[in-house]
């Protein structure tokens, strides 16, 4: 069998046991052959960990780093956009506190998951509906926030958030 068939038909059902159901979406290397590596495929620079540049232990995060990555890397641009959307939720009065989470699969433009949590400070349904109006595809985020501009110098000290001149803070 192919790798995908093995993972989908044997590995995942066995591993998940009772949690397995037919509606689970399984992606195994959705971009096809993985032959491009190094700096042309992914930045080889190690930056400070996201926890240092964001909310400390207050908010969930995926690890990794923002610094040293270009905006095509969703751990950077996706986090910036989640910040913008969460701020918009609060600014629009839909919640007093909000966290937006997004998850991507490599090579798939649409996120595999977008979730919002208002921590009981707003209508979860209205917040989720509001979040669905935003385009979370990486290219759309880069365009909307104009992330190809040389704006990152000011993120090198005191973190990436809370600086009013940055486009994800509006």
**Distance of alpha carbon 61 from alpha carbon 58, whole angstroms:** 10
pLDDT value of position 155: 85
- The pLDDT of 60-73, averaged and rounded, is 76
Phi, psi (rounded to 5 degrees) for 101: -115, 140
Domains parsed from the chain with CATH numbers = 1-41 (no CATH), 45-169 (3.30.300.10)
Is the pLDDT score of 46 beyond 60? Answer: no
- Provide DSSP, 99-162: EEEEE--TT-SS-SEEEEE-TTSS-HHHHHHHHTTS---HHHHHHHHTTTSS-GGGGSSS-SSS
pLDDT 10s digits, 72-120: 888 889 999 999 999 999 999 999 999 999 999 888 899 999 999 999 9
- Dmax (CA) of the chain: 54
Full-model pTM: 0.75
Asked which of 3-12, 27-36, 80-89 is least confident by mean pLDDT, the reply is 27-36
pLDDT value of position 28: 83
pLDDT 10s digits, 119-156: 999 999 999 999 999 999 999 999 999 999 998 888 88
Do 121 and 97 contact (CB within 8 A), yes or no? yes
- Provide DSSP, 18-74: GG--TT----SSTTS-----GGGTS------BHHHHTTTTSS----SBSTT--TTSH
- The pLDDT of 8-33, averaged and rounded, is 87
First-to-last alpha carbon distance for the chain, in angstroms, is 51
Is the pLDDT score of 170 beyond 90? Answer: no
Share of the chain above pLDDT 90, in %: 52
């Amino acid at each position: 069998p192919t790798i995908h068939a093995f993972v989908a038909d044997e590995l995942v059902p066995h591993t998940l046991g009772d949690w397995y159901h037919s509606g689970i979406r399984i992606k195994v290397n959705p971009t096809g052959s993985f032959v491009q590596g190094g700096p042309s495929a992914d930045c080889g620079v190690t930056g400070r960990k996201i926890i240092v540049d964001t909310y400390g232990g207050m908010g969930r995060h995926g690890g990794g780093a923002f610094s040293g990555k270009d905006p095509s890397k969703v751990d950077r641009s996706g986090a910036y956009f989640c910040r913008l959307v969460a701020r918009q939720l609060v600014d629009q009065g839909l919640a007093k506190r909000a966290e937006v989470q997004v998850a991507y699969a490599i090579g798939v433009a649409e996120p595999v998951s977008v979730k919002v949590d208002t921590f009981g400070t707003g209508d979860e349904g209205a917040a989720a509906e509001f979040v669905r109006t935003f385009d979370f595809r990486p290219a759309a985020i880069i365009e909307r926030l104009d992330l190809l501009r040389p704006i990152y110098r000011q993120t090198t000290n005191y973190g990436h958030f809370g600086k009013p001149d940055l486009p994800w803070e509006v």
